[in-house]
Every structure is written in C-alpha cells, then in structure tokens.
C-alpha cells in the first residue's frame, strides 16, 4: 500500500501527543496541523492562479465592476502574442537578464575565488563586498539616479576624468542607448555579492585532499582549476543563476525607480509593462493572459534548468 504524505506525517507524530487528544486519531491530528497551511496555500496561491486563468478568457476590467463580462476565448492570448510592444519588452527583459547573469557570474565567481584565499582583512573585505545586497532596491534605485545625473552625478565625472568626454554631454538614463546598460550595471553592482557568497560556499566545500592528490599527480594550477574547482562549484553556480534568473525576470522596483521603463520604452521590462496594463490601464482580462504567458515561460524555462542542474549534481 502506498503511503500518502499525510500517513507519513501521522506516523511521525509523537505518540504521546495523540494519546493526549482524546477521540482524535493520529491521522485527524495530522490533518488539523496541516490544514491551515493547505488552506492558505489554496487561498493565496492556487485560487488566484485559477481565477487569473479564468479572467484571461474574458474582457473583464477591474475598474468597471458593473460592466458585462464577456467570454472572449483566446482573443486576449492572440492579442498579447501579436503585440509588437510586448515582444519589444520581452527583448528588453532578455537583454537585461542575459547580461546581468553574465556579469554577475563572471565577477561573482572571480571575487569568490579571490576571497577564498587566506589573507589579512579577508573578513572585512567580504563584509564590505556584500553591503550592496543588504540595501533596499528602492534605495539603490534612488541613489543611482543621482549617481547617473549628468550635472552632479559621480558616474559622468568619472567618465570625464578617464575619457575626456564632457560630463554633461551624455545621460546614462537618457536617450542614446545607454539606459539598458545603466540598469545592468546597477543590478550587477547590487547582486554580484549574492552570487559571490554562493560560489564561496561552493569553493569552501571542496575538500583540500582533492587538491593535494592533484598536486601529487603534478597537475598544474590551470588544470586543477578546470578539472576540480569548476566542476565542483558548478552546481552552486547554477543554483545562483537560477535564483538570480527568476528574480531578474520579475525585476520591477529598482528599474521602475531608475528609469520608469524609459526613455521611451528602452528599459520597459515585462513586469513594468504588465503592471501598467493591469493597474493603470485596467485591462484585467488582457493582463491576465499576459501574466499567464509570462508564468508559463518562467515555469517552463525553470523546469528545464532544474533538470539540467540535477544532472550536473549527479555527475
């Protein structure tokens, strides 16, 4: 007979507890404990998801509660998938996602590799490096807006100092194609320490005896790096990429404060676009379809990625 999770939970319940509650079986007690969680999960996650799917097939607008709600079939999905603006925001999101992941992995791994060596001030340096990720994204968005300000911002002055380009002649958040890179820089600054910490955990989990054995076999440092360090840190690195990938796919606050999606639509990420459709234009049915498409995309990509991660871990 197969055991359900409830059965397993019931068996794990201490016998003394079941004896104290008269008239209730172990199974009933287990249900009592689990029920609030299941209820909350259903109420907060599952029900809204099902409701969103339902709304995505209608013309419902949340700001018109008295209007007739019509069933429109797949029309919302068709409109989302044929909307050039949405494909543009998908492209912008992909640009943001790919480049932030690339820079965070390269810089984060490099920092972890350097920090992993024993030297004086190691702990202090580690603490300083992780400071940015302790800040609120709203704070980061606001103060980078000042750093990028062409007349008083530090960034433009540094560029002027090294290149001679006048500070007020360009705007990192303005027109000219720099804004998509400006948001990549800020996210990389803020979240590279997170990737570094995970990589550091991976590096410190490699037993010294493996390197010692490699030394005895006269393996070069380069070979040790590629055949020991990288493969053994890879599952950690992939986990960091998964976390950051999901986070950046739904990035909103920091970019909303930095650019608000502008100039024009140059930094309009899907999450900002979706918020505008849902809560500014009040196209609830349409935005529900948009949200479902995004959900399926993230879920699908994440599932494929997790399978790959498991394969790497099994190696």
Partner 1 sequence: MSRKTLVATAALGLVWAAQAHAQANELTLCWAAWDPANALVELSKDFEAQSGTKMKFEFVPWPNFADRMLNELNSGGQLCDLLIGDSQWIGGAAENGWYLKLNDFFDKEGISMDDFAPATVYAYSTWPKGTPNYYALPAMGDANGWFYRKDWFSRPEIQAAFKEKYGRDLAEPKTQKELLEIAQFFQGREIDGKTVYGASIFTERGSEGITMGATGALYAWGFKYENTPGKYDMEGAVNSPAAVEALEFYKELYKTATPPGYDNAYMEQSLDAFKSGQVAMAMNWFAFFPGLYADPNVGGDKIDFFVNPPQNVAGSTLGGQGISVVANTDNMDGALAYIKWFAQPDVQKKWWSMGGYSCHNAVLNDPGFKDSAPFAGDFLEAMASVQDFWQEPAYASLLLAMQERLHNYVVADQGTAKEALDGLIADWTEIFQDEGKL
Instruction: For residue 26, count other CB atoms closer than 10 A to its CB.
Output: 20
Under the criterion CB under 8 A, does residue 76 sit at the interface with partner 1?
Answer: no
Which of 58, 59, 93, 100 touches partner 1 (CB under 8 A)? 59
The nearest distance, CB 284 to partner 1, in angstroms, is: 11
Q: Which stretch binds partner 1 (CB under 8 A): 28-36, 105-113, 133-141, 256-264?
A: 256-264
Under the criterion CB under 8 A, does residue 91 sit at the interface with partner 1?
Answer: no
* CA-wise closest residue to 194 among 258, 267, 100: 100
Which of 69, 150, 181, 302 touches partner 1 (CB under 8 A)? 150
Distance CA 255, CA 127 (A): 26
Contact assessment for residue 115 and residue 122, using Cβ atoms and an 8 Å cutoff: yes
Residue ranges of alpha helices (H) inside the chain are: 5-12, 15-20, 26-41, 47-55, 75-81, 84-115, 122-130, 137-147, 154-163, 179-204, 208-216, 221-224, 230-249, 253-258, 270-279, 284-314
Under the criterion CB under 8 A, does residue 82 sit at the interface with partner 1?
Answer: no
Distance CA 61, CA 39 (A): 28
User: Closest CB to partner 1 among 147 and 196?
Assistant: 147
Which of 263, 278, 305, 312 touches partner 1 (CB under 8 A)? 263
User: Closest CB to partner 1 among 4 and 169?
Assistant: 169
User: Closest CB to partner 1 among 45 and 63?
Assistant: 63
Q: How many residues sit close enough to partner 1 to count as binding (CB under 8 A)?
A: 31
In angstroms, what is the C-alpha Rg of the chain? Answer: 26
Contact assessment for residue 221 and residue 291, using Cβ atoms and an 8 Å cutoff: no
Under the criterion CB under 8 A, does residue 174 sit at the interface with partner 1?
Answer: yes
Under the criterion CB under 8 A, does residue 207 sit at the interface with partner 1?
Answer: no
Which of 279, 300, 310, 313 touches partner 1 (CB under 8 A)? 279
Positions touching partner 1 (CB under 8 A) are: 59, 62-66, 148-151, 153, 168-169, 171, 173-175, 259-266, 276, 279-283
């Amino acid at each position: 007979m197969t055991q359900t999770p409830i059965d397993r939970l019931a068996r794990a319940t201490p016998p003394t507890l079941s004896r104290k509650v008269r008239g209730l079986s172990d199974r009933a007690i287990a249900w009592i404990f689990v029920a609030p969680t299941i209820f909350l999960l259903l109420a907060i996650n599952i029900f809204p998801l099902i409701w969103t799917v339902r709304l995505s097939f209608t013309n419902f607008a949340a700001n018109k509660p008295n209007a007739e709600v019509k069933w429109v079939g797949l029309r919302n999905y068709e409109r989302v998938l044929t909307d050039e603006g949405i494909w543009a925001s998908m492209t912008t999101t992909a640009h943001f996602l790919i480049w932030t992941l690339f820079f965070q992995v390269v810089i984060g791994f490099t920092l972890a590799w350097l920090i992993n060596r024993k030297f004086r001030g190691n702990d202090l340096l580690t603490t300083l490096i992780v400071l940015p990720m302790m800040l609120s994204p709203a704070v980061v968005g606001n103060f980078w807006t000042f750093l990028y300000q062409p007349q008083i911002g530090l960034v433009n002055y540094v560029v002027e100092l090294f290149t001679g380009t006048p500070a007020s002649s360009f705007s990192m958040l303005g027109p000219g194609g720099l804004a998509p890179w400006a948001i990549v820089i800020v996210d990389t600054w803020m979240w590279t320490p997170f990737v570094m910490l995970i990589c550091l955990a991976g590096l410190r989990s490699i037993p010294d005896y493996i390197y010692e054995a490699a030394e005895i076999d006269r393996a070069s440092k380069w070979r040790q790096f590629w055949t020991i360090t990288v493969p053994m840190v890879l599952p950690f690195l992939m986990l960091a990429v998964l976390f950051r990938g999901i986070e950046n796919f739904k990035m909103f606050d920091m970019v909303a404060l930095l650019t608000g999606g502008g100039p024009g639509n140059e930094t309009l990420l899907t999450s900002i676009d979706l918020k505008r459709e849902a809560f500014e234009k009040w196209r609830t049915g349409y935005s529900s379809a948009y949200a479902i498409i995004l959900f399926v995309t993230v879920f699908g990509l994440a599932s494929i990625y997790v399978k790959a991660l498991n394969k790497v871990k099994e190696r």
